[in-house]
Every structure is written in C-alpha cells, then in structure tokens.
Amino acid sequence: MASVAELRTGIATNLATITGLRTAAKVPDDPKPPVAIVLPQSVSYDGAYQGGMTTYNFSVLLLVSRVSERTGQDTLDSWVSSTGANSIKVAIESDKTLGGAAYDVRVSEVRNYGEVSAGDVNYFSAEFIILCYAD
C-alpha cells in the first residue's frame, strides 16, 4: 500500500530531473526559487472493487523569481508547457509508477498562473494538479 510520503517523494524525485529546478517534498520554511513544492490535497478511497484503489490528489506549487517580469514569465511559461525539457508535466509523468509506489500518475491541469506573495516576497507562480492512483 502506498503512503502519502512515498508518493510525495516520488513526485519530487521526478521533478528533480529538470535542470536548475529545486524540489521540495515538504513545504520549506524559506523557499528559494525556482522551486517546485509538492502538496497533498485530498485522498479518495475505495475506487475499485473491494477497496482496491485509492486516488491521491496533489498539487505542485511552482515559485519563480519576479526580479524581472519578462524573464520570470518566460521561465514559468517553459515549465507550464506540455512538452520540452523544462515541462513539469513531462517530468512528473516520466516515471508513471513514482518509483513503484503508484499504478499511474497524471498531471491534469495548471491553475492560478500569476503572482503570489510569500514571506513579504513576490513570486510568479503556477499550481499543477496531479492525480495518483495507488493501493
């Protein structure tokens, strides 16, 4: 049976394949952009006969420096893309089993593309919604 910690770590491991992107399986006290932070959102039990499948919903919060508006948005755009070496979607789905912890993983959408403040610092950000299917 998969644990939230194993799935979260698997997502962070897949994200670490993107050159120059920091990853965090847990929320850091002081995020250093660019960073992708894995956040559990919800769990749905008993998705198959006799409770054989659980659906885990995660989000990945991507924070990018806002020092230069144009550079920050261009960087964010490359990670939001559905293809390419910097694609968050491609990286997360590169090992669909998350190191053997899941049956499948899928990035379903990107939300909240824009500016966010954290600790009196403004960042560009996007939120990626991830579905994990496991025991």
Nearest-angstrom CA–CA distance, 62 and 124: 8
pLDDT tens string, the chain, 135 residues long: the values are 689 999 999 999 999 999 999 999 999 888 889 999 999 999 998 766 666 789 999 999 999 988 777 788 888 999 999 999 999 999 999 999 999 999 999 999 999 999 998 778 889 999 999 999 998
The closest alpha carbon to 135, from 39, 49, 25, 55, belongs to 55
Residue ranges of domains in the chain, CATH in brackets: 4-134 (3.30.2000.10)
- pLDDT (0 to 100) of residue 50: 67
Which pTM does this prediction carry?
A: 0.90
Six token digits for residue 122:
């403004």
- The radius of gyration of the chain from alpha carbons, rounded to an integer in Å, stands at 15
Whole-number pLDDT of residue 8: 96
- Give me the pLDDT at residue 30, please: 83
pLDDT on residue 110: 97
Distance of alpha carbon 130 from alpha carbon 96, whole angstroms: 12
